Amino acid sequence: MKFIRKSVLHSFQKRRCLTVSKQLTKKQSTLKRIFACIRPYTPLVLLSLLFSVITVALTLYVPILTGHGVDFILSKGNVNFHGLISIITTILTCIIISALCQWVMNHINNKITYKIVKDLRVQAFNHLQVLPLSYVDSHASGDLISRVITDIDQFSDGLLLGFTQLFTGVITILGTIVFMLSINPLITLVVVVLSPMSFFIANFISKKTFIMFKKQSEARGELTGLTNEMLEGIKVVQAFGHEEETQKQFKEINERLANYSLRATFFSSITNPATRFMYACIYAGVAISGCFGVINGMLSVGQLSSFLSYTNQYTKPFNEITSVITEFQNSLASAARVFELIDEKPISDDKADSAVLDSPKGEISLEQVDFSYTPEVPLIQGLNLHANPGQRIAIVGPTGCGKTTLINLLMRFYEINGGSIKIDGHDIDSITRHSLRASYGMVLQETWLKSTSIWENISYGNPDATKEEIIQAAKEAHAHSFIMRMPDGYDTILSEGGSNLSQGQRQLLCIARVMLCLPPMLILDEATSSIDTMTEIRIQKAFEKMMHGRTSFIVAHRLSTIKNADIILVMKDGHIIEQGSHKELLSKNGFYATLYNSQFAPV
């Protein structure tokens, strides 16, 4: 039994050591990446270092002058005022120059920090644009937002502290040692011998704080994701009475965040008191040994006062550096999450010989297409489909049968696992993604509008369109009348997601956006699902005009909207089980007929 317990304990300790080792390796890797981010600004860093050296040198020269000033006060009534005035003037000059240099240094450090942060945020945001849709679908939007905004802000705070205090602190420590050596090497040895103890303490605590700050950043991202998700669906949450469950979920994540934050703060808060204790011991050691030095004639009183001043100067940067190290652990943890996002594999580049799809006719064929979101759950297998130019292909079937997935494959939002998809005889793998997607016009059930004017939202796919063309597209989409009723007409600024419009009005603007572009191929995925019946009739007429001569794919649940389709594909479990015109499929009395009759059968 004892052997089993020992074996379990050994296994646990081994796993723990491996976890800590991975964390430290990750920390080192993150540091290398940070230095790589700093490298382009090396000239500014060197300039900051120069001003830091000047600031520290002048600051450390003041105690020497102070010591000389003390020695000019020989006794009561015996003071060298001429020498004192000269020293005071020099001290004031040093203080003024030092203050100016420090101001310039801080300005340079701010410039370096915010340039690095700007570069990193642009890199992270740009990388989001090229990440596979599968990655975006599998990660909470709140967590991704947290990485690009909050984590980079946390990194910025730590980096700024590193430049403003770490550089100056290190130079102060080195400079102080040099000045102390010039006064008395023996007492300097006391300071140098006792100092490493504080490093050991700070290093031990920093390892703990990094791990805790990493967990804190992850929990913060999770909390941001939940809050974002809840705000987007607040009406649904309240409609189904899930406020209490949501609060419980929020409370659980928030408690974990608070726990990690407290533990991170606990470890980081130990650093300063522990190092201060060590520095108090160093100061006491210097004071005692210095007093013996004065008694034995090795030091003057002025030199001892200079030495004690240098001891304070020497220990102060250690306190600042330990505080910086604590904040820097949080910064490193946040930077690691940002680099994780940037390191995610982007979608593969277009092939070097990829062709630009120019004026496609719209002949589309799928041959033995296989696809699944996860390998263990097959979805589409051996799918075959051929669409002639100008045909209208409706896709129907129960929820989860693969209708929207098929649209994603046509647009190459996801890569197929097997088979081929061709447009005008060209495999879509050999066509640039931009030209492929530009050849399609999409109106989806889920609307997306920017927080900008109605003009810009309609012209999103065709920025060069004239106002007359935009108005004409809006009229064809039956959006012009409600737009003109808005406070500023087409100049009305929409709120986030177009929330100051009804769902139907948002849908009409999305339809107008596609009508303005009129690409050679169309995808309408439940495009009229949020529109009233009377408007839908008018929109269907507009669609008839828009689809004329264009290959169109129409995904619909309301089967009354697809009666005029050239071909209706009936999908089930990733397979096309029936295809034909509306009349042909009804006459077969198969799955389509069952779906149709279920919608129109009398109750």
What is the pLDDT at residue 281? 75
What is the pLDDT at residue 24? 54
Answer positive or negative: Cα dihedral of 514, 518, 523, 526: positive
pLDDT tens across 274-287, in order? 767 777 777 777 77
Select the more confidently predicted residue: 53 or 8: 53
Fold designation for 106-343: ABC transporter transmembrane region fold (1.20.1560)
Distances (CA, A) of 267 to 25, 273, 280, 582: 20, 11, 21, 71
Please, which pLDDT band fits residue 292 given cuts at 50, 70 and 90? confident
Highest mean pLDDT among 45-49, 141-145, 172-176: 45-49
With 50 as the cut, is the pLDDT of residue 559 above it? yes
Average pLDDT over the chain reads 78
Please, which pLDDT band fits residue 117 given cuts at 50, 70 and 90? confident
For residue 310, the SS3 value is helix
**Residue 437 and residue 444: Cα distance in Å, rounded?**
14
What is the pLDDT at residue 601? 55
CB-side exposure of 378: number of CA atoms within 13 Å? Answer: 12
**Residue 253 and residue 328: Cα distance in Å, rounded?**
24
pLDDT tens across 403-441, in order? 888 888 888 888 888 889 998 888 888 888 888 888 888
- Which residues are bridge partners to 573 per DSSP? none
**Among the listed residues 206, 201, 232, 112, the one whose alpha carbon sits nearest the alpha carbon of residue 160:** 112
What is the pLDDT at residue 73? 66
Residue 136 token pair? 């975006």
Sheet holding 418-423: strands in order across?
A: 380-387, 364-371, 418-423, 426-427
Domain residue ranges of the chain, discontinuous segments joined by +: 106-343, 448-518
**Residue 121 and residue 334: Cα distance in Å, rounded?**
13
Answer positive or negative: Cα dihedral of 227, 233, 235, 236: negative
Helix (H) or strand (E) holding 245: helix 243-295
pLDDT tens across 47-67, in order? 888 888 888 888 878 777 777
With 50 as the cut, is the pLDDT of residue 13 above it? no
Contact (Cβ atoms closer than 8 angstroms) between residue 157 and residue 331: yes
Select the more confidently predicted residue: 45 or 280: 45
Cβ neighbours of residue 513 closer than 8 Å, sequence gap 6 or more: 457, 458, 459, 460, 461, 473
Residue 115 neighbours by CB distance under 10 Å? 15
**Among the listed residues 566, 574, 568, the one whose alpha carbon sits nearest the alpha carbon of residue 595:** 568
Average pLDDT over residues 546-569: 81
Contact (Cβ atoms closer than 8 angstroms) between residue 190 and residue 279: no
**Among the listed residues 308, 267, 287, 320, the one whose alpha carbon sits nearest the alpha carbon of residue 176:** 308
Select the more confidently predicted residue: 597 or 22: 597
Please, which pLDDT band fits residue 326 given cuts at 50, 70 and 90? low
What is the pLDDT at residue 185? 78
With 70 as the cut, is the pLDDT of residue 603 above it? no
Average pLDDT over residues 368-373: 86
With 70 as the cut, is the pLDDT of residue 71 above it? no
Average pLDDT over residues 227-245: 73
From start to end of 9-143, where are the E strands?
Answer: 73-75, 78-79
In this structure, are strands 364-371 and 575-580 parallel, antiparallel, or unpaired?
Answer: unpaired
With 70 as the cut, is the pLDDT of residue 1 above it? no
With 50 as the cut, is the pLDDT of residue 15 above it? no
Sequence length of the chain is 603
Percentage above 70 pLDDT, the chain? 83
CB-side exposure of 270: number of CA atoms within 13 Å? Answer: 15
Q: What is the CATH number of domain 448-518?
A: 3.40.50.300
Report the range of poorest mean pLDDT among 45-54, 456-465, 560-569.
Answer: 560-569
Helix (H) or strand (E) holding 286: helix 243-295
With 80 as the cut, is the pLDDT of residue 481 above it? yes
**Residue 465 and residue 471: Cα distance in Å, rounded?**
10
Cβ neighbours of residue 180 closer than 8 Å, sequence gap 6 or more: 187, 188, 191, 307, 310, 311, 314
Average pLDDT over residues 126-149: 82
Please, which pLDDT band fits residue 10 given cuts at 50, 70 and 90? very low
Percentage above 90 pLDDT, the chain? 1
Residue 537 token pair? 């009739």
Please, which pLDDT band fits residue 311 given cuts at 50, 70 and 90? confident
With 90 as the cut, is the pLDDT of residue 502 above it? no
Report the range of poorest mean pLDDT among 68-77, 256-265, 297-306, 329-338.
Answer: 68-77
What is the pLDDT at residue 100? 93
**Residue 206 and residue 327: Cα distance in Å, rounded?**
10
What is the pLDDT at residue 207? 66
Report the range of poorest mean pLDDT among 28-42, 545-559, 588-602.
Answer: 588-602
- The backbone torsions φ and ψ at residue 578, rounded to the nearest 5 degrees and listed phi first, read -150, 150
With 50 as the cut, is the pLDDT of residue 307 above it? yes
